[in-house]
Amino acid sequence: MQGRRKGMWGTISPGECSALYRLVAASSTDLVVKTDRRGRIVHATPASANLGLAFAGDPIGRHLLELIHESYADIVLAEHCLALAGSRGSGWIELLAVAQDGGQQWMELKLGGVPGGDGVLGIMRSIEDRRALENRLFVTAMTDALTGLTNRSAFTRMLAHLVETGASGHLALFDLDHFRTINLRHGHSGGDRVLVAFARLLRTLLREDDILSRIDGGTFGVLLPEAGQWQATAACERVVGAMGEMGVTTHRGHRLTASAGVAAFAGSADATLREAELALLSAKSRGRARVERAGAGLFGRTAA
């Protein structure tokens, strides 16, 4: 067994090690490097050019950190020290690498010690495709498929973030009056068209920085960061007024209108949402097609 390395699953000869290395070295997506104890690259496979990393030429003599965005320097140095000491370290590290065009790309890096402690071996590969897929899945999970607005989960997270960071602003809840009768008269496809139209109306009439969400059925939530009391109320009145002018009627002759409740960001996300819900209920009970602010009287207009 002399000259063979024994692992968990058996043994491997020096020739087999060389064949395995050649297989990895031929990869255009995996960059294998060896560094000295100081982190200088003493050997690298050709993948650095294919990956578009900071230097497309011969990387020999460059420091490992020249491949890495400066914000990840400390963690890479720490992993390098652990590898020199023979520790397993943290395993795969996700980080930003510096590209030849000055941009950045997501990579993952794993470092391990060389027998004898005279250097470190590392493997680095792109995870841009995986990151892009994760981002698409995240967007899908946070988006209402029908309207393209964010959904309730995203809405509650963003509201909590704004409140917890002490941001000023208001929360508005809109609810389509008599929306259920639209579904009864025109089916869900008719109701869907109304929801899409209302989402478009919100995008048109509200600020670009306002955060729009469909949170349940015919109910929409809007976060208005840095909007004062009168600014938030006026914005909601524009939406409610425009909805009333669309002239859509239900099978019972009711015009399809919207009611809204407005509340300032309070001590917690739950408290803010509760205040806006109470204001919305008040608007509904007072005749619909109006805007009401939490803790105040009527601020909107009633449908004709």
pLDDT for residue 25: 53
Residues 151 and 252 in one domain: yes
pLDDT digits (tens, 9 = 90+) for 206-264: 999 999 999 998 999 999 999 999 999 999 999 999 988 876 655 555 678 999 999 99
Tell me whether residue 303 is in a domain: no
Residue 135: half-sphere exposure toward Cβ, Cα within 13 Å: 7
Place 169 in a pLDDT band, splitting at 50, 70 and 90. very high
| Residue 219's CATH number | 3.30.70.270
Examine residue 139 and state whether it is found in any structural domain, yes or no.
no
Final residue before a domain boundary, out of 132, 163, 180 = 132
The residue with greater pLDDT, 82 or 181, is 82
- Cα–Cα distance for residue pair 176/82, rounded to 1 Å: 60
Domain count, the chain: 2
> To 5 degrees, how large is the angle CA 123–CA 126–CA 128?
160
Which tokens in the block code for residue 172? 């508005």
What does pTM read for this prediction? Answer: 0.60
pLDDT band per the 50, 70, 90 thresholds, residue 7: very low
* 126 in the same domain as 49: yes
> Do both 67 and 166 map to the same domain?
no
**Band of the pLDDT at 299, cuts 50, 70, 90?**
very low
SS3 64: helix
Same structural domain for residues 255 and 227? yes
Out of 132, 161, 180, a domain closes at 132
> Each residue of 33-67: pLDDT tens digit?
889 999 999 888 776 666 777 666 677 888 999 88
Question: Which of 107, 132, 157 corresponds to the end of one domain?
Answer: 132
3-state secondary structure of 236: helix
> How many whole angstroms separate alpha carbon 291 and alpha carbon 239?
10
Residue 226's domain comprises: 144-293
